[in-house]
Amino acid sequence: MKRIHVAIAGFGGVGRAVASLLLSRRNRYRGFYGVDVRLVAVCGSKAGIASAEGLEPNQLDGMLEGLSGPEFVMAAKPDVLIEAGPSNFRTGAPGYGYIGSALDAGIHAIVISKGALVFDGKGLRDRARETGAFLKVSGATAAALPTIDLLEYNLKGCEFVRIEGILNATTNFLLSAMMDQGMSFDDALAKAQQGGFAESDPRNDTEGWDTASKLLILANFGLNAGLAMDDIMVDGIQNVTGAQIGAWKDAGLVPKLIGAITREARTYKATVGVQALPKSDVFSQVAGKNKAIRITTDTMGEIVTVGCGAEPLATASASLKDFEHILMATR
Ligand SMILES: NC(=O)c1ccc[n+]([C@@H]2O[C@H](COP(=O)([O-])OP(=O)(O)OC[C@H]3O[C@@H](n4cnc5c(N)ncnc54)[C@H](OP(=O)(O)O)[C@@H]3O)[C@@H](O)[C@H]2O)c1
């Protein structure tokens, strides 16, 4: 049976969930795709472990100091790299090094962090094209919510007139708590932080950058839009006041942080900001930690998906959906 070797770079909540799901699905990969999947290397920022024969779950806590970095992972000669490290869209690091090394060597890359894809998505796509490697990004584009798949597979051939998304669970939770429970921004944020789904420094979410990053990746990978972060007008929810909340309630409107891409002649315009929607709008029903995307096409009408999986399993599972797409395409 053909062997498929997988390596994981970034071994925190998501990376560990990927490993656990991948190993638990080995029989599925044998049955569906006729491949013997082995996890041959994992690493965090300072330590890692590798085995040419494949790691078992009970070995994953035996990481050794010093075994980290793109060279360590590539030495394991994986067929597929799953990247689940931290995200920095201004530098791309550390994911950019791992992903670039993999693609240059013809190794398929499944990317979960957004930073490198925002920093130089075009460069990475070019490098993938040159070696014939797949570069898959479901985990970085709202993960369990199907977004990039809609553009790449489900709505193939359509012209996309407009794409709108509630793409960040934390800000949707905060706005819902302020509207539905009368909480202040600070109290809602404290609750989200206690629940472990808002960062101690929440600005990447609250100022709209996480939404903008997902939007940019969708635009460039799904629409070939060629946008840079500077092309997107980005505003968050950090300045929403109690008075505004009251006014929206009185007017029967529901505020949502929305990332939108609109086709304008041959270019795309992208924005992130709060929109106050009528209650009849389907996005108004997307409450709490749910996310949603609405795609308006020329010939297939308007498609909406809504969802929220338990993290980090949902994101891990989204990356393994990408893995199965690669298995299907390469068998
Ligand atoms: N958590 C979610 O629900 C979720 C959802 C969607 C997307 N994401 C994205 O998934 C990624 C991982 O999230 P997470 O929650 O798993 O984060 P996390 O728990 O903080 O884990 C990050 C991991 O990356 C490792 N790392 C840091 N620098 C590295 C380097 N230079 N080389 C290799 N590994 C390095 C860390 O190593 P150490 O352990 O040694 O520090 C840690 O193992 C992030 O980009 C996040 O934005 C997360």
**Residues 151-175: pLDDT tens digits?**
999 999 999 999 999 999 999 999 9
- 112 CA distance to ligand 1 centroid (A)? 9
- 15 CA distance to ligand 1 centroid (A)? 7
Q: Which of 141, 142, 160, 143 is nearest to 151 (CA)?
A: 160
Average pLDDT, rounded, for the chain: 97
- 312 CA distance to ligand 1 centroid (A)? 11
Please report the pLDDT score of residue 121 as a whole number: 98
Ramachandran region, residue 196 (left: φ > 0; alpha: ψ -120 to 50; beta: rest)? left
The whole-model pTM stands at 0.97
Which residue's CA is the closest to the ligand 1 atom numbered 46?
113
| Residue of 8, 14, 87, 90 with the most ligand 1 atoms within 8 Å of its CB, for mutation | 14
**What is the C-alpha to C-alpha distance for residues 110 and 288, in angstroms, rounded to an integer?**
28
Report how far apart, in Å, the C-alpha atoms of 6 and of each of 26, 41, 87, 229, 265 are: 12, 7, 21, 32, 43
**What is the C-alpha to C-alpha distance for residues 74 and 131, in angstroms, rounded to an integer?**
15
- 262 CA distance to ligand 1 centroid (A)? 32
Q: Establish whether residue 138 lines the binding site of ligand 1, counting it when its CB lies within 6 angstroms of any ligand atom.
A: no
Is residue 25 classed as helix, strand or coil in its secondary structure?
A: coil
- Contact of 271 with 151, CB cutoff 8 Å: no
Is residue 302 classed as helix, strand or coil in its secondary structure?
A: strand
Q: Establish whether residue 317 lines the binding site of ligand 1, counting it when its CB lies within 6 angstroms of any ligand atom.
A: no
DSSP-assigned states of every residue in 157-185: T--EEEEEEE--HHHHHHHHHHHHS---H
pLDDT tier for residue 308 given thresholds of 50, 70 and 90: confident
Per-residue pLDDT of 272-284, as tens digits, reads 999 999 999 999 9
